[in-house]
Amino acid sequence: MGSLSGPVLRVDAAVLHANIAAVSARVAPSVLMMVVKDDGYGLGAAWAARIAVGAGVGWLGTYDIPTAILLRQEIGSGPRLFAWATSADEEIDAALRADVDLGVGTLDYLRRVIARAEALGAEARIHLKVDTGLHRNGLSAAEWDQGVAEALQAQEAGRALLVGAWSHLAEASDEEDDAAQARFLAAVARAGELGAELPYRHLTASAATWARPELRGTLVRVGAFCFGIRSADGPDLPGVAPAAELVATVVAIDGDAAVAGIGSFDGLPSTLAGRVRVGTPAGPRTLLAVEPDAVRVASWEGAAVGDEIVLFGRGASGEETPTTLAEAIGTVGEEILCRLTPRVRREDC
Ligand SMILES: *Cc1c(COP(=O)(O)O)cnc(C)c1O
């Protein structure tokens, strides 16, 4: 059955729009930076960015610079773009030309960004990252004064604007996150003493943003919840729903199974078989097997070639959401969505 066509991802602009409105309302007066990394959590970064801007979002976070450049072309010059991957000089140059805000977490990267701004006669918009305990990236307490001083010196020379401070939380326990926030606020206060204003202060991603208002800064960076992916084992999110469904078409009825083609799509872990239900025209049915180019589903009265099976979605036909699918095999919803490569066909609904 090697010629079976793959599943279709139906992305729902109205749902994404409503999710963004719900998240924005919940976080106010903090401002939403919508994170669209990993190709917009599998739904399409450019698609998501257009809808976000239409919904009034003024900040988009991309992780890497190439995605930010792509989005700048897509959405024009108004909204701010934030890329935080430590990047090569050619990418820094492209970011400076496209007016992308840069997240900077090492002294070496800070110096390279400033050097590239000097070389191009540009002004780099910099958000300095504080190491608040994850020790992955971020200026340590010992490096902080030096980083702030060098950024301010570049600002005096017209080659930088030190606009923000940021960090990332482990979200493992409230106590750890509280301690991280205390380190973050101390760094912001110290930068103030050194003469930096830092209007943009951001620390939290989806879970902490939603549940812990006291940790929010002037900006919050929210990805998963905007796309309707709730946390595994986390609370329900009022006003927020999965913004896409993955649909396959029945190609054969084989005894007690309806067989639906998934082509070369290899994004469904075979360990899901027997553990989850998918949506069918007759309601939820057990997923029996995931094969190289097809799935087998417990059949139903009147099942026919051409019927649609919803592999995951919002639950409208009894299917799992990305998160409940993920919970069945001990992972997170992002993991399921990030298996959707750009080769999976998209349809707007
Ligand atoms: C992925 C990411 C986010 C968004 O995380 P969600 O849990 O999807 O909201 C925010 N900030 C950073 C640095 C990230 O890498």
Q: What is the pLDDT of residues 143-182, one digit of tens each?
A: 999 999 999 999 999 999 999 999 999 998 999 999 999 9
Ligand 1 centre and the CA of 223: distance in Å? Answer: 6
Ligand 1 centre and the CA of 96: distance in Å? Answer: 23
202 neighbors 166 (Cβ within 8 angstroms): yes
Q: What share of the chain is helix, strand, coil (3-state, %, to 5)?
A: 35, 25, 40
Task: Give me 162's structure tokens.
Answer: 């030190």
Compute CA 221 distance to the chain's CA centroid, rounded to the nearest angstrom.
9
Atom of ligand 1 nearest to the CA of 229: 8
Phi and psi at residue 59, to the nearest 5°: -135, 135
pLDDT band at 1 (very low <50, low <70, confident <90, very high): very low
Burial class, 111, CB count within 10 angstroms (exposed 0-12 / middle 13-18 / buried 19+):
middle
pLDDT at residue 35 tops 70:
yes
Domains, in order of start, for the chain: 13-227 (3.20.20.10), 244-348 (2.40.37.10)
Q: For residue 170, give every residue at least 6 positions away whose Cβ sits within 8 Å of its Cβ, in sequence order, or none.
A: 133, 134, 176, 177, 180
Task: Give me 189's structure tokens.
Answer: 């206060």
Instruction: Transcribe 171-184 into DSSP letters.
Output: -S-HHHHHHHHHHH
Compute CA 236 distance to the chain's CA centroid, rounded to the nearest angstrom.
18
251 neighbors 305 (Cβ within 8 angstroms): yes
126 neighbors 104 (Cβ within 8 angstroms): yes
Atom of ligand 1 nearest to the CA of 166: 13
Ligand 1 centre and the CA of 349: distance in Å? Answer: 27
Q: What is the pLDDT of residues 181-218, one digit of tens each?
A: 999 999 999 999 999 999 999 999 999 999 999 999 99
From 210, 221, 225, 335, the mutation candidate for ligand 1 (largest count of ligand atoms within 8 A of CB) is: 221
Atom of ligand 1 nearest to the CA of 103: 13
Average pLDDT, the chain: 95
Q: Measured between alpha carbons, how far is 244 from 231 in angstroms, rounded to an integer?
A: 17
Name the helix (H) or strand (E) containing 294: strand 294-298
Q: What is the pTM of this model?
A: 0.95
Nearest to 10 by CA among 47, 61, 60: 47
Ligand 1 centre and the CA of 107: distance in Å? Answer: 23
pLDDT band at 74 (very low <50, low <70, confident <90, very high): very high
Q: Measured between alpha carbons, how far is 257 from 273 in angstroms, rounded to an integer?
A: 13
119 neighbors 159 (Cβ within 8 angstroms): no
Q: Measured between alpha carbons, how far is 75 from 47 in angstroms, rounded to an integer?
A: 10
Residues having CB closer than 6 A to ligand 1 are 35, 37, 84, 168, 205-206, 221-224
Nearest to 227 by CA among 52, 27, 66: 52
Atom of ligand 1 nearest to the CA of 63: 15
The DSSP symbol for 125 reads E
Q: What is the mean pLDDT of residues 88-108?
A: 98
Q: What is the mean pLDDT of residues 98-110?
A: 98
282 neighbors 292 (Cβ within 8 angstroms): no
